[in-house]
A and B are shown apart, each in its own frame.
Chain A
Amino acid sequence: MHSHSWRLLATGHLHLDSQLQDLSVAEDDQHEIIRDATLSAFELMIESALEHSIDLLLLTGSLCTKPLTLRACTIFRDGIEAILEEGIKVTWAAVDYKEVDLLQKLNCLPAGISILSTEGNQQRIELDTDHYSALTTGSTKTRFGTICCELISAQQTDEAAGEASYIGITDQAIGHLPQKNSTNRTEDEKYQLIISGEAQRCRTTRHQNRLYHSPGTIQALTKEITGPCSATLIEIDSQGEIELRPLSTSVVIRDQIELSVPHKITLEELLEQAERKLLEQLAAYSYAPARLLHLSWEIRGPHPHVMQFSSLELQELLSPLQPLDELSILHEVNLAPQLTGEEIDENKLHEKQLGEQFLQLLGDQNSPFTETNIEALQEKLGNKTVLIKELLTGLSNKEICNRAAELGLLALQERLREAG
């Protein structure tokens, strides 16, 4: 039988001192929040760990995106030391052992931390005098760690350990369908919970009474990861039931709101609709400790209705929309003009159908750039400067298409205004 409940805080990638991306609309006064976002998230995670009186802190992701900085190392050292001082055990399932080496080199790896890796040996971590948790390294690379969460008495025999709740740690990503994933099902059978530190997003799936969970990063770096990021408080009660509870950590939240303009509406109506949507969205962040929200608006609908507005104009108009004092909001607006669906002449261009014909043609286009174009431009800019290919990879075709549609339609509209 389980002797008492057990609390564990699991984290994914920490991304300490890594740079946040996709924040072109950021203002100078938000520089420090953005700069220290990952570090603040780590500190929040440490505070949460102390507040919830956990038994074990389990770091399953990588420490940061390369290269490791001194700031990252020292904040890690200070945070972990604070945890260890409270008598809480810390285990780090190190994805990259080079990080461990560097931390050791810089005297930033506190002595009490246990490191798990595929190369390591079996370890056992004492939690208190009456109970223990066994941490072992796996035999294959798919599982490099196992936590026996059953806190059986040290005096009890090994048979009692058979009733333990086992948590597996993996460095492989967990998909939506674990049975189709590369995880070994036979091996998985002995675990009640399998934690993966690989995924950037927080995700939980259940398969045959087994939980697969990725805590996700504690602070999102790109705008693709929307909503508050978190560390996961895993509580195993006296009946062996596992409860997962996210504890918000992200200081900068990224999110998207889609506004549909199916009919012709005025600017005031659009702004009113936007405000209403924003308030609904903000209700979801009431428990998050965030200080900055980067909100991407996508305004879509038939082009005659959408192109009444411009993205820059809307961005300026939405900027003053700051309903919460403690949370600054960065508004970024993208227009997504769409075809109206009316019949067009494919063989002949008509003045009144130019917009529709333009959009259709744009939709048929693939990337207009050849490799040589980009390489020639890169050569002109220099190879040690902004890497165009890398930046272009970060852009989606949809994003470019929408912007192209906006620019083209604006140009057509302006010409019409000049002529009319």
Chain B
Amino acid sequence: MKITDILIEQFGRWNDLLLPVRKKGISLIHGPNEAGKSTLLRFIRGVLYGYPAAGLITSHGGDRTTGWGGSLRVKHHGEHYELTRRIEENGRQAFRVSHKNHALTPQQYEKKILQQIDADVYRTIYTLGLKELRELATLQSEHIGEYIYGTSLGAVGQQLLSSSNQTRQFSNTLVDEKHDQGKLFDLSGQYNSLQQALSRADNVLTQYELSLEEQKKLEKKQVERKHRLEQLQREQGNYRFLSRIWKPWKRHRELTAQYNRLNALSGFPGDGLRKLETLEQKIAKISRRQKALLEERSKVKQLLQAERKSYELRDHASGVRALIDLKTMVETAERHLGDVTADAAMLKSELDQKLSSADSSWTLDKLDQIDTSPQAHLKLVTAARDYQNSLRRRARYRRRYQKLADGNHNRQLELQEQFKKQNITSIDQAVQKANQRIRDLEKLTKLRIQETEFDQRIRSAQSQIIKLQEGAELPWWASLMLTIFFMAGGFFVVAGLFKTVQTSWLVGAIYMLTGIMGTGLAWAMRLHYEQNDTELQYKLNEEIDQCQFDLEKTRNQIAQITGVSSGHKLLSTDLQSPRKNLTEAELIRQATQKLTELEQFARDEDKIKRIRKKLSVRRGKLGDYQREASAARQSWCDLLKTLGLRETIRTAEAFEDWQQADDLKQTLTRWNAAKEDVQRHTEILSLFKEQMEQISRRMQLEDQPHRSVTQTLSHWESLLNDYERVKDSYHQRKKEYLDLKNELEANREELQLEKQNLQALLKQGHAETREQFRANARQLHKVHELRNQLDELNDQLATLAQEEPGLAIVEEDLLQFQPQQTQERIEMIGLEIEEIQHDLEQSHQQLGRIRQSQAALESDNTLANLKTRQARLLDRAQITLRDWQASQRATTAFSEMTEQLERDYQPETLARASHYLLKLTCGRYEQVRTPFGSRELLIYEKDGSVRKITELSDGTREQLLLALRMALIDLFARQGIELPIVLDDICVNFDQVRTEAAVKTLIEFAQNKQVLFFTCHNHLATLFEKQGVEPTWLPKFHTPEKQLLAG
């Protein structure tokens, strides 16, 4: 629809206006302010969609719009219509659409003329004042927004948006920077709490150091205190000792002085008085006894003379008595001799019997040589025990050695068998080989993957080439068309030549040119498609060659490892067995197992070597035991030889021999003893008889041979009894007489001696008389008393000195000693000692507490626990950061993909708007775009930077919004919607350059559209004029009585 004329009967300041309008291009209407330009805009909008009631109210109040109205003559699809709208008296608006003398219904009008464009869309898109232009919200409506932002993203877009949202949401759960929350913030909070706890607990080391310092200080103080205590105790001891020793010392000193004065009688006998008295008593007593003895001696002499005759047998009495005394013994000996003789005979026969029954080697001489003493028996037992012990040790050690050797031998056999079974010559080589094999297999696995990869790439490239080759052939219809084009071209060239010759060169040239164009076009199209395919194919072939080269290289490497040429698929010669179907992983596992097995063999081999060394050591030790056993056997045999026994290495036999020898020797001993007994008794009896005969001869007794020894002895006994009776009294008296004589002599000598003693005593006591002696003795007694007292004091002092052996007292100290002052000093020291001891005890307790606290600190795990928790927390934070960074990366990747999609799939409106914006901004802003899923416009500058609409200046923003509206109008126009566009001074905020650009753009835009452009600016009108647009000048109203309604 296009307006042809504007007819205003009355509207605002306009009355009876007829304004013709250009059907295409810009109709520039220029007039000053208050010329009624805006009123015209509202009139056009009002006629088409209804007058807005509020806009017609005047400042006088009341409604003065009654009768207002007018018409628009329009042309739509070649048909002429007249649209008339008038405000009636009741305020209602009467609207009529006339077409060829008949009216259209409102529905027909909306559908046909307005083409379903509603009033809002028309107002915001087609009729723009500066106010409408600036409104962005009007473009956000459901209907318009769909054109600008595009609502369907497609499956790919939806998938990308959804995935991006998901990763973004996940990222926000980890770190939500907007709201300062998320897992990382939680962990950070926990970390802070832990950090605080750590800072509280982190003074353990300081505490420990302080505790150590305190301990050192206390220990130092304790040492000082102990030292001081020792000093004080020593001092106190000194004072006490001094005070203890001072009193005895003082007494000793006084007594010594007294003693020195009295001690003049040196050499006076100690008990002089008692000696003197004793001597006097003794002299008197001896004198009395001498007298009595003289009287008794004369009496005894008389009696002796009377008994002298009876004493004759005295010369032989002793011999006779001796023989008589032996009488019983002789009788017993005679009886015993008989018994003993019988015993000896019996023992002799027993010995003979034993010797005959024993080994023939036993003889009496040999028996004599055998030593059967207990000492010899002990030696034998000890030697036997040593010998047997050494044998047992040797046997025991030999058994252990044998057991170890057998075990090792078996182990070695097993190992050798294993080696033989697995064909191992050297275990080190086998281990190296197994290691090499594992490395080869690992490398092989990697190479296999590479091989598969290259293979896959080649197949992929080949399949692409096939597809290209298939696609390179143009479809039959396209080929047919190109051929027709080609042939038609040829035909036209020929026709052109013909026409040039026949009719006119111009027609011929046209024909020829048409022909050449057709032929060239067909040729160029074919060439274009084929060349593209060839290039791609060439690239793919290159890639295949490269991949094949790499594949070959990889296969060669595989072949080097497996020993099989690259044409073969088998792994290696040793894998051509049933194991060839196993995977590399399985082979690696088997190789690892084999390596473990080989390492076990190596360990076994080491063990065998170690046991061999051990066996060697044991062999040496076994030799030692052997030598020890030989030495024991030798010493055993030597001992048997020494003891006179038969040499045997069997201890039981030796002991049997010993037993037999002992038995025989005992019998022999008994027999020898019996023999000796018989001989002794016979000798005794012979000797006795001889003595009797000798005595009888000396006594001159008559010989009586018929009498037996016993009878002779009885006779002699009676004679002796007579002699004994006389002899005793005689002897007694004789002895009495001699005693008295001796006694008298002794008494005389004793008397003489005592007298001499008396004289010596007096001389010793510095006296000549007994009285003088007694006086001297009294003086001496007093000196003795002093001496005793001094001795006691010396003992006392010595005891005191022994109590304190470490102390040495100088006499000067004792001379200067003040008892009162010393006592006071002792008490003072005591107090100080008590104080120090108390301090020591306290510091000891304190030290104990410190050591306890140190032990507690050493075993305190609080800090370690906190640090470990902190480390775990940091681990979790790191994982959170990893996930966050990963989700950000994923989101970024999705964003890039979305961006690519946005580039590829921008709505057409924006593409068109970008075109206009580029022109309006003189190339500064080259693109306007909207991100997927949002209703936001982003403007891309030429340098690549992006701006949001809010970041633009007013002028640029208006240019953007104008571009958008122009794009929308273009889009609607393509859909067949054509409505008149009215623009009311929309370039007022544009600078000169952009205004010029806007003018050119609008002229271009309005080429197939009807645009009414109102302006009050001369320069704008001039600019349009320069571009060939003639303005329609509106005069300024000068009727002050008329109220301006708008503009």
List chain A positions with a Cβ less than 8 A from chain B. Answer: 17, 19-24, 26, 31, 34-36, 67-71, 74, 105-107, 260, 262, 273, 276-277, 280, 283, 341-343, 348-351, 354, 357-358, 361-362, 365, 368-369, 376-377, 380-382, 384-386, 388, 391-392, 394-395, 399-401, 403-408, 411-412, 414-416, 418-419
Contacts and interface: CB of A to CB of B under 8 A. Distances in A.
Contacts of A401: 886, 889
A21 B175 contact: no
Given A280-B592, A411-B166, A404 B893 contact: yes
A410 B7 CA distance: 68
Contacts of A21: 871, 874-875
A415 B160 CA distance: 9
A35 B868 contact: yes
B883 interface: yes
B170 A382 contact: no
Given A358-B893, A401-B886, 14 more contacts: A20-B871, A21-B871, A23-B871, A67-B205, A68-B205, A343-B460, A348-B904, A362-B890, A380-B177, A385-B192, A400-B882, A407-B883, A411-B163, A411-B170
B886 A411 contact: no
Interface in B560-615: 585, 589, 592-593, 596
B890 A404 contact: yes
Contact of B892 (A105, A365, A391, A414): A365
B772 interface: no
Given A351-B159, A385-B195, A414-B166, A404 B464 contact: no
A382 B192 contact: yes
B584 to A, nearest CB: 10
Given A21-B874, A70-B858, A349-B897, A35 B864 contact: yes
Contact of B882 (A69, A358, A368, A395): A395
Contacts of A277: 585
A290 B507 CA distance: 102
B180 interface: yes
B192 A368 contact: no
Contacts of A408: 163, 167, 890, 893-894
B507 to A, nearest CB: 47
Contacts of B863: 69, 71
B861 A35 contact: yes
B156 A351 contact: yes
B868 A19 contact: yes
Contact of B155 (A105, A388, A419): A419
Interface string B176-188: 0100100011011
Contact of A34 (B160, B162, B461, B868): B868
Nearest to A403: B886
Given A351-B156, A419-B155, A391 B205 contact: no
Interface residues of B, number: 77
Contacts of B867: 19, 35
A19 B867 CA distance: 7
Most buried by A among B177, B195, B875, B896: B875
A23 B872 contact: yes
A69 B875 contact: no
B879 A24 contact: yes
B212 interface: yes
A382 B190 CA distance: 13
Contacts of A377: 175, 177
A392 B881 contact: yes
Interface in B868-902: 868-879, 881-883, 885-890, 892-894, 896-897, 900-901
Interface of B: 155-156, 158-160, 162-164, 166-167, 170, 175, 177, 180, 184-185, 187-188, 191-192, 195, 204-205, 208-209, 212, 445, 449, 452-453, 456-457, 460-461, 464, 585, 589, 592-593, 596, 857-858, 860-861, 863-865, 867-879, 881-883, 885-890, 892-894, 896-897, 900-901, 904
A345 to B, nearest CB: 11
A107 B211 CA distance: 12
Secondary structure call for the B interface:
helix
B793 to A, nearest CB: 58
B855 to A, nearest CB: 10
B280 to A, nearest CB: 89
Nearest to A334: B882
Contacts of A67: 205
B294 to A, nearest CB: 99
Contact of B204 (A70, A381, A388): A70
Nearest to A221: B871
A280 B589 contact: yes
Nearest to A412: B163
Contacts of A381: 184-185, 188
B883 A403 contact: yes
Given A380-B177, A411-B163, A23 B191 contact: no
A385 to B, nearest CB: 5
B164 to A, nearest CB: 8
Contacts of A341: 453, 456-457, 460
A416 B175 CA distance: 26
Contacts of B589: 276, 280
B475 to A, nearest CB: 22
Contacts of A23: 871-872, 875
B881 A415 contact: no
Given A377-B175, A386-B191, A392-B885, A411 B449 contact: no
Top-3 shortest CB links A-B: A408-B890, A403-B886, A19-B871
B206 to A, nearest CB: 10
6 contacts: A349-B900, A350-B156, A362-B889, A386-B188, A386-B877, A407-B167
Nearest to A332: B879
Contacts of A69: 204-205, 863-864
A403 B904 CA distance: 29
Contact of A400 (B167, B871, B889): B889
B156 A349 contact: yes
Contacts of A17: 864
Contacts of B900: 349
B192 A384 contact: yes
A411 B892 contact: no
Contacts of A419: 155, 158-159
A373 to B, nearest CB: 9
A146 to B, nearest CB: 32
A106 B871 contact: no
Contacts of A348: 904
A14 to B, nearest CB: 16
A26 B875 CA distance: 10
A418 B162 contact: yes
Given A385-B195, A394-B878, A369 B212 contact: no
Nearest to B213: A105
A48 B464 CA distance: 65
Most buried by B among A365, A406, A412: A412
B871 A399 contact: no
A273 B187 CA distance: 36
A34 B888 CA distance: 32
A31 B883 contact: no
Contact of B162 (A361, A407, A415): A415
Nearest to A394: B878
Nearest to B883: A403
A328 B983 CA distance: 81
A205 B464 CA distance: 51
Nearest to B204: A70
A350 B449 CA distance: 28
Contacts of B158: 415, 419
Contacts of B882: 395, 399-400, 403
Nearest to A362: B893
A386 B187 contact: yes
Contact of A354 (B159, B187, B865): B159
A280 B585 CA distance: 11
Contact of B872 (A26, A350, A365): A26
A36 B180 CA distance: 36
Nearest to B168: A411
